Structure formats: C-alpha cells, structure tokens
Amino acid sequence: MATFETKFLSLPNDCQLSIPTLEERLIGHLGQYITDHKKIFIERVLNYRTRYVTLVLEDIFQSQNASATVRTAECLGLQDVHIIESENRYGTNKKVLKGSHKWIDLHRYKLKGFNNTEICFRKLREQGYKILVTDPSPGGVPIHLVGADQKLALVMGNELKGASATALRLADEKVLIPMYGFTESFNISVSAAICLHTLLTKIRDSTYPWNLSSAEKEMIKLQWYRKVVRRSDLIEQEFLRSNL
C-alpha cells in the first residue's frame, strides 16, 4: 500500500517547513476541477470511512446478492471488501451495484489449487483482524453481543451452503442474528446489513481507533478525485510533464 510522506526542509533556528508530497500536489491540482460542494461531500464520507470493520464474501454465486452486499458495505462506510472465489466466480449486477464498487477496495482471492479461505484469513489476521463467521446454528454469539476491542472481519458464506467447513474451523468466533420467525435466515445482503450496522454503531459510539489515518485518507481522496474528474488521467499526465 502506498503511503504519503511529508518531507521537511532544514531551516535555521530549528524551523521546519512542510513540503507537499507529489500526491498532495495532485490532489490540489485535480481539486480545481471539482466543485466545493463535491469536495465537502468527499470529506464527509472520508470522515466516516473505516477499516476497523471489513467484510468477507465466501463463494457467493448469485451476482445480485454479491452486488447488493457490496453496495450495503459501501453505504455503511466500509473501505474494504474481501471476495473469496474458490468455487464460484465473483459476478456483478451493475443495476444493483449503482456504482458503489468504484469507491471501495475489493480484494479478490481466486488462486487455483489453493484454499483461498485460508489465504484470506491468514492475510486478515496479519492485519490484526478478529474473524467472525456468520452461522445460524446454535452456539454462536448474537451479533449485538460481539466485542469490538479489536478490528473485526465479518465473513458471510454463500446462499446455499453458508460458510464453508474451513471458515467455520478457522473462525475466531461464530456469530448469528437472533431469529424470531419460522424461517432460518435472512437474505445474505440483509444479514450483512444487520450485522454491519450493529458492529459499526457500536464502534462509532466508542473510543476505539476506527477512523482512517491521515495517510489513508489522502491516498483514498486521490483515488476518488481521479474517479470524479473527467479525463483525470490526461490532466494528471499534463501536470506531471509540467512539474517534474
């Protein structure tokens, strides 16, 4: 992941002058083509963005379900969604997505001959996530009782079989949504919405470090500015030719 560095120029009397990085200069240049209203809206979204909670979709096979769940995650402020594709290829439905995928980072695990669930979980643990696997069977922790004192990765299994045996075996905790009707479970996008909203409400009302860092915000802002500005690639190339 790229990072933003601020370099300093040595000055007399222990003064330090911050010199904008190339990324910061690009943000300033592209910002000339974005309305103030849009820039304020982007800042507001960034302030609610989080990587403290992330979502994992394991072998979802219906494109409308995958798309609805990704859209839900973006609407609720997640920056990352992890897609496991061991058995089923990730498909999209543009009418359902409504462009939501443009504003988040999708991480796909689809190596042939490997257990992609294990690979994904290993990566998440290296990043400090506790892995919560949704499972409607008895013995799981109700989602509203889940602790949030560390980063959380919520894993949703596929529509037919639920979470895989590997996911259930490697879970740090199995979680469920309490049900009060005859039907065993919600649609996957509804389940994701309930679980994510519950977890995100809890962390946003807490003192846990759920916000993005300044460096992350700058990097994501540049990504978004590039998407908002028409022909941003050509504008950026011209800027680089003139300033490097």
Per-residue pLDDT tens digits for 19-68: 778 889 999 999 999 999 999 999 999 999 999 999 999 999 999 999 99
Euclidean distance between CA atoms 236 and 29, whole angstroms: 8
Task: Give the distance, in angstroms, between the CA of residue 132 and the centroid of all CA atoms in the same chain.
Answer: 16
**Arch. (CATH architecture) of 51-204:** 3-Layer(aba) Sandwich (3.40)
- Residue in the block written with tokens 């995100």: 200
pTM of the predicted model as reported, rounded to 2 decimal places: 0.88
Give me 227's structure tokens. Answer: 């998407």
Residue 151 has what DSSP assignment?
Answer: E
Q: Kindly list the domain boundaries of the chain, sorted by start residue.
A: 51-204
Which of 60, 67, 69, 73 shows the shortest CA–CA distance to 96? 67
CB 72 within 8 A of CB 192: yes
Task: Say yes or no to pLDDT of 151 above 80.
Answer: yes
The per-residue pLDDT for 2 is: 43
Average pLDDT for residues 134-144, to the nearest whole number?
92
